[in-house]
Amino acid sequence: MPRQFFVGGNFKSNGTVDNIKAIVDNLNKSQLNPEVEVVISPPALYLLLTASLIRPEVKVAAQNIFDRGNGAFTGEISAQQLADAKIPWVILGHSERRSIFRESSEFIASKTKAALEAGLSVILCCGESLEEREKGITLEVVTGQLQAVANVVKDWSKIVVAYEPVWAIGTGKVATTQQAQEAHKGIREWMKKAVGEKAAEETRILYGGSVTEKNSGELAKQEDVDGFLVGGASLKPAFVDIINSAAQPRLQ
């Protein structure tokens, strides 16, 4: 059974009430490919506003959680609170969380486990730096990040993996279609061994890294590219074109 194409929009720490409303309004009135699963992720402050306004087939994701549940954790949001607020998705392991906030793969794995136990679905990010790519250890780095999750999570049915080469995030640089496909294929082959053949076949692997409406069509054709995690372009009207790029026939 083919994997459903998935496009996520990560707004990061951007937005005001007015322009979040404008982004949502544009999505609501646009013709979106009904075969694509779409999830958008505004800053935490605007999660409930976004969820209250967006068309029902588009879902909303938080950008982070804490792994310890409710309690004396000032400034944090728990997985249980997201579930209570009917926010069904969360992005975890984004390169900015790993690099700027020094989150370890083990901490991200713990958060992933907490999210799944609360009934949330997870966009699990992984990726390598430019230095690591130039050393030829891309797959070693990426699968190491994912292995930390495999150590504590056995059921990956509610996980979507997002491969995001760190050197291509916000830089305007994009992995070539061949580089993206090679990395995605390597992740899928690792999953067969570490998680299981069924999970490897069914888990969607997204590409993230300066995705725009100009390069999404070609990337969408690749056999193991099952969608995108879009950053800055998700704030623009062209996000609709990226969603609809899934109309491209997949290469086999």
The residues annotated as belonging to the active site are 94, 164
Q: Which residues pair with 228 in a beta bridge?
A: 7, 207
Using CA atoms, how far apart are residues 97 and 74, in angstroms rounded to an integer? Answer: 18
What's the CA gap between 214 and 243, in Å, rounded? 12
Work out whether strand 159-163 and strand 205-207 pair parallel, antiparallel, or are unpaired: parallel
Which one-letter amino acid corresponds to residue 141? V
Q: In 10 A of CB 58, how many CB atoms? A: 20
| Number of C-beta neighbours around residue 51 at 10 A | 19
For 138-165, the DSSP string reads HHHHHHHHHHHHHTT----TTEEEEE--
Give residues with Cβ within 8 angstroms of 129, minimum separation 6: 141, 166, 167
